[in-house]
């Protein structure tokens, strides 16, 4: 492998890592915004974009807010 090929390979790997980091950052943002599942622009959809082999294997347990839970009892603290 020549130095030019090595540098091109490193550059491609860095680009791929940057793209993956951007997807991870977007996943965290979507989770914080409550976008867990149900489309491409959700945590679930972006996880599938990172690894298509995961498609159909996730069973996300989306959080339930207090207003959504009919029988919610807050913890005693």
- pTM here? 0.62
34 is in which domain, residue-wise? 22-51
Res 19: pLDDT:
92
Is residue 60 included in any domain, yes or no? no
Segment 38-65 shows an average pLDDT of: 82
Token pair of 13, please? 């790997």
Percent of the chain clearing pLDDT 70 (strictly above)? 84
**Residue 43, domain member (yes or no):** yes
Within a domain: 45: yes
Q: Minimal CA–CA distance to 39: which of 51, 49, 29, 50? A: 49
Domain annotation covers residue 74? no
DSSP code per residue over the chain: --HHHHHHHHHHHHHHHHHHHHHHHHHHHHHHTT--SSSTTSHHHHHHHH-GGGTTT--------TTT-TT--PPP-
When pLDDT is cut at 50, 70 and 90, the band that residue 66 belongs to is low
For residue 20, is pLDDT > 70?
Answer: yes
Count of structural domains within the chain: 1
Q: With cut-offs at 50, 70 and 90, classify the pLDDT of residue 59.
A: confident
Rounded Cα distance, 23 and 25, in Å: 5
């Amino acid at each position: 492998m020549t130095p030019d090929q090595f540098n091109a390979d490193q550059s491609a790997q860095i680009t791929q890592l940057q793209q993956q980091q951007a997807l991870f950052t977007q996943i965290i943002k979507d989770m914080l915004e409550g976008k867990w599942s149900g489309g491409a622009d959700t945590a679930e959809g972006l996880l599938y974009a990172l690894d298509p082999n995961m498609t159909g294997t996730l069973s996300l347990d989306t959080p339930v807010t207090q207003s959504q839970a009919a029988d919610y009892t807050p913890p005693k603290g």
